[in-house]
Structure 1
C-alpha cells in the first residue's frame, strides 16, 4: 500500500510517497501558486549522486595529492567517527578552539530540529566553541549599514505588509525588481505563495510599476511595468539624481527631513556639488547610467505626486560599494517624505523571499538551542577565503581593526560554499590550506569533494521534523517519507556519535533522541504561544494554522506619528542621512553619507576593453541556490548539459553566436562554459548567468568550470571596509564561441576509488 506523507520544503508544502515509478510529489492543495521547484524533490533520492557511506579522501590517508581532485575510499561509521573525533581533539588541544571554523549556511532543510546550522553550532559549542561567521551572502552589506542608518533590520524583517501595498501604493518604483522566481522560496517554508496575487491586486486597482533593472523579467510581464535598464551597478547615481530633482524643484518633504532625519544639510551639499564640484543632476546621471535626463525628471515628478513605494532588491547590495544603493534608496524615500504612510516609503527585499512583507509571528518558533560559543573570533561570512589564505592578516570591518584567525580545521554541515562564494579557483586554493576538512553532505557536491572526511547525511525526506517560518501561518509535521538511503544518518545522529566519543553526549543530547527532541521543542513552543494541542495530537493532525497580528503593518508608522516618543535605535533617534559614526571610521569606500563611487567594473567604459560585457550572476529560477541541481526542473533548463547564458540579440550577432551554442565566458578571474539563449529581455551589453550549477573543474585546460557556475568568473572582494559583504552579482566578461565538443561533466560522477 502506498502511503503519502505530508512534508515541507523551503519552496512549499507537499505530500510524497515512494511508488514503483519513483518518488511522487504532490503540491499542497491549499497553495494558490505552487512552486515549480517541487519537481526537483524526487532527485533527492537519486543514488547516483548520493554519498551512501562514510568516505575518507585517499590522499589524506596516505599524505599525498590535494583536495579537490582526489579519490575517496569508503570506511565504516566507527572508523569515520574515530578519525573525526581524533582530529577535533588534536586541533583544539594543540591550537585551541579558535582554530576550528564552523561553516554552515542553514538552507539544508525547512525543519527546525534538523536545521544543520543549529546542529553544528550546538555541537561545536558543547566541545568548547569555534570561530564563526556573521552576516550572509544575501545581505552582507545591508545589515551592517542598516544598523547605522535606521538602527536595526526592520526594513527587512518588518517592512510594510503586502496587503497594505496592494491597497494603497499608487506607484511601485522597483530598483532591482520584485522577481517572481525568488518569491517561490522562504527560509523555513511557505504554506501559501501569495506575492504574485498581491501584485496583481495592486495592478488591478490601478497602481503603476516602474522596473529599474538590466533584466526585463525582474518584474512579472502582467504588471505592465515601464522598464528602465540602466548600466549595471549605477543605481546609486540614478537615485541621487532623483533626489536632486525633487529638492531642486521643491517637490521634497522639507518638514519630514527636518523632524525625522539627520544629516540633510551634508547630503544636499553633496547633491548640489558644493562638496565636490559635481552637481548630481539628471544630466550627470544620464552620463553615468544611460537613462535619459528627461526620463529621470519625469520619474521624479511621478514619485512626488503619487503614493510611492521605493523597493530595493537584495541584489543591489551584492556588488562593489553595495552599501551605497541601499543608503541612497533610503535617502530618496526620505526626500519624498512618505515613510510611515500606508503604501509609501521604502522596503528592502520585496520578492527576495516569500516571507518578506508578511507579518512575522508575535511568538518564537520551536528551534534547537545552540548554547554559548566561548570563542569570540568571527569573520564576515564572505571573507572565508581571505581567512584561510591569510592567517594573521589585519582587515577592517564595521569600525574595527580585526585579524584573521589561523584555522587548522574546517567543519561544514549544511550549505555549499562552492555555490555561494566567488572566485572558486581561489576558494579551492583556500580549502587546501587547513590540515583537516570535515563535511556533512547528502550529495557529492564540490564541497564534499574538498573534504577529508565525508559523512553521508539524510535529506529532509528521510527524517521527521517540525516545519515553520517566522513569517508563515502554519506549523507542519514533516513526516518521514522514506528510510535513509545507504548508510546515511542525520546530522543529529552524527554529532551524537562524536559527542559520545568526546565524552560530552549528555550535554549535547540532554538525554533525548529525535522524537523526544521534537516533542520537547513543540511543547516549549506551545507554552510560549499558548496555542495548539499536545504533541501527539498535533502529529496526528499534521498541520496547525497559526494566528498572529493583523496584516496592516506599516514600516515606521509610529515613528512618523511621533519621532520623539518612538525614536529609532540610532544615535540620533532618527534616520541618518549622514552618519557621524560611519564618517568617523574614515573609510574612503564608505564615507558618512550616500555617495557615488565608481566600481572597478565601470572604470573601463561599457563595451570597451578585454571584457566589454557586464555579467549579472543572479539567483536561479529553476532551483534554490545549488540545491538539487540535478532535479527535473533544473536539468530541463540546461542546454547540452550546460547552464544557459542569456544575451541580447545584438551582442550575439556581433559575436556570430546562435541560440544553443556552447560558449566560453571569460573574465579576469576565470572562465566557464555555458550555452547561449538569445533574449531581448536583457539589456544590450549585459549577459545573465544564474548561480547554482554544481562547480565542475574537471577540465581546467578548457575552463575553470565546464558546467556554467558564474562564480568561476566573479571576483572575491568585499563590498567595502564597512560591511565586507559579497560582491558576486556583477563582473565584466567576454563571451567567446566554443567550437570543440564540450568535455563531459564529471560533477555527477562519484569520486570513489575503484576496488582492485
Structure 2
C-alpha cells in the first residue's frame, strides 16, 4: 500500500488530533497545543517545505510514524500518518503525544553536539569538549588496555533501549572482531515471564493470541495490563484495545492495583487487587473450580503434566507435589487455598472471588491475558506461571476466542538486523546484575547469580560501552548503590557513553559521543499488533554540529583497532540497510521494494487473527510442544533439575523449603503487602506513564507540565498522614528518599502507593547526605536483589512510608 506525502496544514493537523489538544487543555492550561507542537517559526514562513518520513526508535512496539516538515534544513514541525496519507481509514500507526514533541528533543538546549571527556567525579556531570580524534583514540586505547590486562570477559555492553532499528547495535559487531565481550541475557521488562514460559509451554509458544481473537470471547481477563499506557501510539496494543472495546460484547475484568487508563470509561471492569498477589487470586479461583467440579479434566489429562497425581511424572508420584495437592492443602505448605485464604492476601472480598471463579468456570470462550507488571516482582516467575495455568484449568487454550495467559501476540513485520558477528566470549550474566559484575564479578557463579556459559566469572567488568541507555542508574534499581559502584573508578575503569542528551547514566561516562536520531539518518523498522506495518525514512536534515551515527563511531573505533575492513565489509550504513532489507524480502515477498518503501514512508498490511496453540490443541501428538514431555507442564521436572543446588536467600521460596517450587504457587514478596513493617507500612508499586517511555522524554519540559511526576495514594492513607492533592510529599524506605507531588485518588488500592517509573533522577550525590531525589525516580527506592529463578528485575516489589513535606 502506498502513501502520499502531501503537506497538511497545522490547522488541519490540530483538527485531526483533537484528543491531544484536549489533553493539553485538560491539564489545566499547563501546556497549550502551541506549546506542545509549536508554531512554524516566522523565519520559515516563506521557505520551501520538504517532507520526510521517519520513525520513533525508543523501546515501544508502536514504532510510530513521524512526518517531518523541514524548511531551511530545520524541522519546523512534526506530523504523523493519517488516512489522508494512506487513502484508507484504518489502521493508522499515528504518533502519540510524545512522538509529536520530537522537535523539542531534536533542538533541545541539552542536546549533545560534540565529543566530550569527563573533568569531574564520575556522576558529577562535568565535561569539556574534545576532538573526535582524541575521543576515539582514548576509547580505543582504553579498550585495548583492558583487553590486554584482563581479557575480553571484562568488556561489556549494558542493556539499553534508547534505539531500535536494523543497524542499531554496531558496537557489538565491532567488539566481536577484537576478541568479544561478556554477554547478557534477559531484559529489564520481561525477565520473569520470559524465563518461566518455556518451562510451561516450551520455547516456541512465548506469546498469546492477538487481541483481535478476543473479539470472539465471552469473558476477558487482563492481569496487570494497560495497553493504552504501556503501548500508546502506533497501531499496536493501544490501538487494538480501543478497537476491541468497540467490537466485543464480552465481559471484561482488568485486575490491577490501580484503576489504570485502560479501564477509564468502564469502571465496572476494574477488579482492585493488592500488588504482587495475583497468584494467590488464581489459587483461590482454582480451589473454587475444583470444589465445584468445574475444571476440564479431559483437557488437563490429555494436554498437561502435573495437574494431579495421575498426570505427574513417574519419579514424582506419591509425594504430594502436584498442583491439585498444593491448592487443596496436601502439598508444599499444607495450606488449603480457599477463596477466604485468597481474600485475606489479595484484598478482594470472598464473594467477589467466588463470583469471578464461577464466571471463569461457566463462561466460554475465555481470553486470559497478562501484562508485564505482575511478573516484574520478586515472585514474578510464579505469578506469570499461575496466570498461564488459569485458562488450562478450564480447557480454554487453542480455541477461537481464547489465549494461553501470556501477553497478546502480534502480526509484526520482522526485518533483518546488522550481524553482530561471532562473539568468542561465551559467558553471559543476567542484565540486571551488571553492577554486581562490576563490584564483585569473580564471586558470581552459575549457582548464586545465574552465570551461563561457565561456572563463574573470572574477572569483573572493567570497560563498558553504554549506547542509548539510561540503565546504569536511572532505570536500574537502587540508584544510590549503583552510584557508589559506578563512581569508584577502581572498579569499572572506563565507560564510553553514546547518546543524544545528558541523561543521569551518561554522567558516569569518561568519554561521551554525540549521537544522531534514527530520523536524522536512513533507517527502517518493522512492528505490528493486530495489523503489521513498517516505516522507512530518509534523514530529515543534514547532520548538525559534530554529531555522528553510531555506525560511523563504531567504524572509527574499528579503524583504530585494525578491524575496519572486517567491520564494514566495504559497505556504508545505507548499503547495509539495503542488503538487510533484501534479506527480509526473501523471507517476506509481500514487502515492497526498497525504493518503494523509501518513497512510501509507511507500509501497512492487514493482519489475521492468531489463536495461540491452535495446532497443539487440534493434535497434541503431531504438534507436540518442545517441553520435555511435549505437553503443557504445570509441574516442571526440568526446573527442579536446573536449579538443583542453587544458593537461595530467605524469601526466595516458600517458608520451610530449600528448593524453588516446581508448580505455580503463591510466594509472598520480600517487600510486599505481607511484609510491610511499622517503619514502612505501605506497599510501593510502579507503573508506566503516558508522559514517557521508560525515561525517554523525561526531560521535555512541556510533557512534564502535562504529565507531572506524582505518587498515587488512596484518600484513606492520605488522610491519616495529613496529605492533600498537590502537596509535595516524601516517599522513603531503606534504600532512599524521593520528593514528588501527591495524587490523592481512590484509583489506587488502600495500603499501596503507586509511582510511575522513568522520572529523571535529580539528587545531589556528593553534597546531600540523604541524597534526596527531587526528580521522583522510583528506582531510588527499589532493591537490586534479583528475583530467584530468572535473576530478573523486581522493581515493583517495595515497601515505603510517606510524609508531607513541611512548607
Same fold judged by TM-score > 0.5?
yes
Q: Please state if 1:126 is matched with 2:177.
A: yes
Residues 458-607 of structure 1 mapped to structure 2, 5 A cutoff: 458-469=516-527, 473-532=532-591, 534-546=593-605, 551-584=608-641, 585-586=643-644, 589=653, 590-602=660-672
Residue matched to 2:734: 668
Residue matched to 1:142: 193
Q: Distance in 2 between matches of 1:702 and 1:738?
A: 15
Q: Which of residues 401, 404, 414 is equivalent to 2:468?
A: 414
Paired residue secondary structure (1:201): helix
Q: Please state if 1:394 is matched with 2:444.
A: yes
Deviations 1:330-369 (A, max 9, x none): 222111111111112433234xxxxxx32244xx513211
Residue matched to 2:218: 170
Residue matched to 2:746: 680
Q: Distance in 1 between matches of 2:671 and 2:217?
A: 35
Residue matched to 1:27: 80
Residues 110-125 of structure 1 mapped to structure 2, 5 A cutoff: 111-113=165-167, 115=168, 118-125=169-176
Residues 107-506 of structure 1 mapped to structure 2, 5 A cutoff: 107-109=162-164, 111-113=165-167, 115=168, 118-152=169-203, 154-156=205-207, 159-166=208-215, 168-184=216-232, 190=235, 194-202=239-247, 205-217=248-260, 219-265=262-308, 266-275=322-331, 276-306=333-363, 307-350=365-408, 357-361=409-413, 364-395=414-445, 396=447, 402-404=455-457, 405-417=459-471, 418-432=473-487, 433-469=491-527, 473-506=532-565
Report if aligned partners of 2:375, 2:383 keep a CA contact under 8 Å in 1. Answer: yes
Residue segments in structure 1 that go unaligned for 5+ positions in a row: 60-65, 351-356, 741-756
Q: Distance in 1 between matches of 2:678 and 2:76?
A: 51
Paired residue secondary structure (2:696): coil
The range that moved more, 244-253 or 522-531, is 522-531
Q: Which of residues 651, 659, 682 is equivalent to 2:717?
A: 651
Q: Please state if 1:67 is matched with 2:133.
A: no
Residue matched to 1:13: 65
Q: Distance in 1 between matches of 2:291 and 2:450?
A: 34
Shift of 1:279: 0.4
Report if aligned partners of 1:208, 1:225 keep a CA contact under 8 Å in 2. Answer: no
Report if aligned partners of 2:212, 2:244 keep a CA contact under 8 Å in 1. Answer: no
Deviations 1:295-315 (A, max 9, x none): 111111101111211222211
Q: Distance in 1 between matches of 2:134 and 2:159?
A: 24
Deviations 1:374-431 (A, max 9, x none): 1012111111111111121134356978434421111111221123211011111222
Deviations 1:451-478 (A, max 9, x none): 1111111122321211222656333221
Q: Given the two structures, how large is their TM-score scaled by the length of structure 1? A: 0.89
Report if aligned partners of 2:212, 2:609 keep a CA contact under 8 Å in 1. Answer: yes
In structure 2, relative to structure 1, the CA distance for the partners of 1:663 and 1:260 (3 Å cut) is same
Q: Distance in 2 between matches of 1:235 and 1:262?
A: 22
Residue matched to 1:747: none
Paired residue secondary structure (1:264): coil
Q: Please state if 1:44 is matched with 2:105.
A: yes
Q: Distance in 1 between matches of 2:75 and 2:524?
A: 25
Q: Given the two structures, how large is their TM-score scaled by the length of structure 2? A: 0.84
Paired residue secondary structure (2:290): helix
Q: Distance in 2 between matches of 1:382 and 1:210?
A: 32
In structure 2, relative to structure 1, the CA distance for the partners of 1:224 and 1:696 (3 Å cut) is closer
Paired residue secondary structure (2:101): helix
In structure 2, relative to structure 1, the CA distance for the partners of 1:669 and 1:702 (3 Å cut) is closer
CA RMSD of aligned residues (A): 2.3
Q: Please state if 1:2 is matched with 2:36.
A: no
Shift of 1:193: 5.8
